[in-house]
Structure 1
Amino acid sequence: MTSTPTEPAQRTAADEDVSQRLLDSAATLSYDPATEVDWESPLPADRHGLNPEWSTLYGTPLWDELTPEQQITLTRHEVCSIMSIGIWFEMILQQMILRDQYVKDPANAEFRFALTEIADECRHSIMFARACAKMEVPAYLPPPFVAQLGRLFKTVASAESAYGGILVAEEVLDVMQRDWMRGDDVLPIVRTTSKIHVVEESRHMKFARQEIKESLRGAGTVRRHASALLISLVANVVVTNMVQKDVYKSVGLDPERAMAAVRRNEHRKSMLRNSCVHLMDFLSEAGLLTKPAMAIYRRTNMI
């Protein structure tokens, strides 16, 4: 199945205005990570990779068993796992956007912003890769089965399903990074990369929301239910794979024991639910928060 371009009659002057404003914003406020991030300074030994409150084990007895040095190591591996999964999903995202814009009018602001977003995502992926290398943390790739699911999704998803999948991944990470960029006990390299990502992804999320609304004009109940289910399944895969099981080996923990603690961690569940409030509001407004989808979001602790 291939993406079906939006019919010209469906796109309004208001849609084009949103894309033009996003283009103007990109021209005014964008970053070059190669020069904005301090890649040369040594990493402070006492800084975490992310706010401790965002660690998957924070609030559990297992977290309290760790020494301060182990907690720092764990958060550095956790943030690099999230960055690595982010790179994986950004590569899926770029392919879907390119496919969506295939043979569309290049004079349109929508087309030009879509390519601008792809350029942003390329820089973000390089930035995350360099950050992980700087922290001397290996790449945490998705399991083979999950990687194949991603390959399938980027091949078959189109319209609101594609942009909905993009949105759920970006929204969850956005809330986390807004905390990381302000964390006094977080590594400067993570604070800066988070700031860059938050600023530029805010435009991407607005674009995704607009594309979803545009795609759903005139959509029937069956299509909305099918899209809602697919988006929720993508959200489940992304959220449950952000921190890979092998991360816990980095501090000498038994991965199975650690994963069991994560599954019981009510603090973690609360943080996830809070990070998804605005996302769920939008999905509800768009008619993409059906009962089957809500069941999956609840199982994923997103609602």
Structure 2
Amino acid sequence: MTAATAFRERTTIDDVTARLLTSSDELSYDPQTEVAWDQPIPDDHYGLNPEWSTLYGTRLWDEMSEEQRVLLTRHEVGSIMQTGIWFEMMLQQLILRDQYAKDPAATEFRFALTEIADECRHSLMFARTCDVLGIPKYLPPRLTIELARLIKTTARAEQAYGPILIAEEILDVMQRDWMRGENVVHIVRTTSKIHVVEEARHMKFARAEIMDGLEHASRFRRERSAMLFAGAAYFIVRAMVSPEVYTNVGLDKERALAEVRTNQHRKAMMRLSCVHLMDFLADAGLLTKRAMRVYQSVDMI
């Protein structure tokens, strides 16, 4: 049974959120105490598994010293985390707008606020990680930031939760590797574990909200939502690792970007991180031909 089919067979959105509230009560983390913030960072530990570096498998990677590789992966994970902070701030606004004036006694409302609390802790956790690793400020391109303002102001129902699911699904697969990486710095391993556990609930919530929103959707609305999801995915993927990362670790930015664009290993890893997401979108009727072309353009399928 696929994820989308399973959600069609639920009775109400409150059944899903009631279970998620129970899970939140039983298994949640406080990053302030769970992460060994004061433990020294080994000089030879990566910021993320080398296989997830955008340059892994390229000639430029082979030419780099081990110190450069370590530094690159730390800046890459810092850029990904800061993109995550930006997106989590947008996510919180989307959820608040969707839940505005809804029944506060409903488990849907209560879990939505629980998720917002989780996301606040995650953003603080990522920000502190970047501070400990000495990572400078990285932001998505200005166009992406301004387009996101439009989405967070106008998106409703499934269109609010689609971009949330996309961002969380992509990061989930990556972080499941990072949390097990013996050569990854300990604070990234621990923060990845926290994020994976708590975002699993958030993804279930997003899937449930998407299926609920699409239950009686017209073909036009489904097509519009499919393209909005694909458009959000396009900008999220392109914003994850800032081009300034390469400059800041002493690489030729233009050469690095050229090698990233043709890096078949990176493309394969990106497709791997999107397998479950594409299965869900297909089963929900949101993987249309036009949407597929967008996903293909950023190597998600």
SS in structure 2 opposite 1:140? coil
Residue number among 22, 27, 30 corresponding to 1:29 in the alignment: 27
Aligned to 2:234: 236
Per-residue deviation, 1:257:
1.1
Q: TM-score, structure 1 length as denominator?
A: 0.95
Q: Counterpart of 2:111?
A: 113
Preserved contact between residue 167 and residue 205 of structure 1 (Cα < 8 Å): yes
Q: Which amino acid aligns with 1:55?
A: S
| Post-superposition offset of 1:22 | 0.1
Whole-Å separation in 1 of the counterparts to 2:181 and 2:156: 37
Aligned counterpart for 2:176 among listed residues 175, 178, 181: 178
Superposed counterparts of 1:192-231, under 5 Å: 192-231=190-229
Cα distance in 1 for residues equivalent to 2:242 and 2:156:
28
Q: Residue 93 of structure 2 is aligned with which of 92, 95, 108?
A: 95
CA separation in 1, counterparts of 2:215 and 2:208? Answer: 11
Distance 1:175 1:139 in 2: 25
CA distance in 1, matches of 2:153, 2:261: 31
Cα deviation for residue 143 of structure 1 reads 1.8
Letter in 2 for 1:157: A
Quote the residue 1:257 is aligned against.
Answer: 255
| Counterpart residue type for residue 238 of structure 1 | I
In structure 1, distance between residues paired with 2:253 and 2:82: 19
Rounded to whole Å, the distance in 2 between the matches of 1:286 and 1:280 is 10
Matched with 2:63 is 65
Aligned residues: 292
CA positional deviation for 1:14: 3.2
Match of 2:265 among 264, 267, 273: 267
- What's the CA shift string for 1:136-183, capped at 9, x where partnerless? 111211122211111111111111111011000000000000000000
Give % identity: 65
Q: Which runs of 4+ in 1 moved over 6 A?
A: none
Per-residue deviation, residues 197-221 of structure 1 (Å, max 9, x unmatched): 0000000000000000000011111
Match of 1:246 among 244, 247, 267: 244
CA distance in 2, matches of 1:95, 1:55: 31
1:251 positional shift: 2.1
Is 2:177 aligned against 1:190?
A: no
Match of 1:301 in 2: 299
Distance in 2 between residues matched to 1:202 and 1:281, nearest whole Å: 16
Q: CA RMSD in A?
A: 0.8
What is the Cα deviation at residue 18 of structure 1? 0.6
Q: Deviations over 1:225-272 (max 9, x none)?
A: 000001000000001110000000122111111111100000000000
Q: Which residue of 2 aligns with 1:123?
A: 121
Counterpart CA distance in 1 for 2:270 and 2:197 is 21
Partner letter of residue 260 of structure 1? A
Q: Distance in 2 between matches of 1:196 and 1:244?
A: 24
For residues 250 and 168 of structure 2, the distance between their equivalents in structure 1, rounded to whole angstroms, comes to 31
Counterpart among 159, 162, 167 of residue 160 in structure 2: 162
TM-fit CA distance, 1:296: 0.3
Q: Which amino acid aligns with 2:236?
A: V
Kept in 2: contact 1:240–1:300 (CA 8 A): yes
- 1:7-46 equivalent positions in 2, closer than 5 A: 13-46=11-44
What amino acid sits opposite 2:72 in the alignment? L
TM-score (norm 2): 0.96
Distance across 2 between alignment mates of 1:199 and 1:250 = 32
Tell me by how many angstroms 1:288 deviates: 0.6
Corresponding residue for residue 79 of structure 2: 81
Counterpart contact for 1:43–1:187, Cα < 8 Å: yes
Correspondence for 2:7 = none
The one-letter amino acid of 1:116's match is: T
Unaligned runs of 5+ in 1: 1-11
Residues in 2 aligned to 1:227 and 1:236: alpha-carbon distance in whole angstroms? 14
Residue in structure 2 matched with residue 7 of structure 1 by the alignment: none
Q: Residue type matched to 2:197 in 1? A: V
Secondary structure at 1:86 match in 2: helix
Whether contact under 8 Å (1:33, 1:193) holds in the other structure is yes
Measured in 2, the distance between the counterparts of 1:117 and 1:255 equals 38
Q: Which runs of 5+ in 2 are unaligned?
A: 1-9
Query: 1:150 is matched by which residue type in structure 2?
Result: A
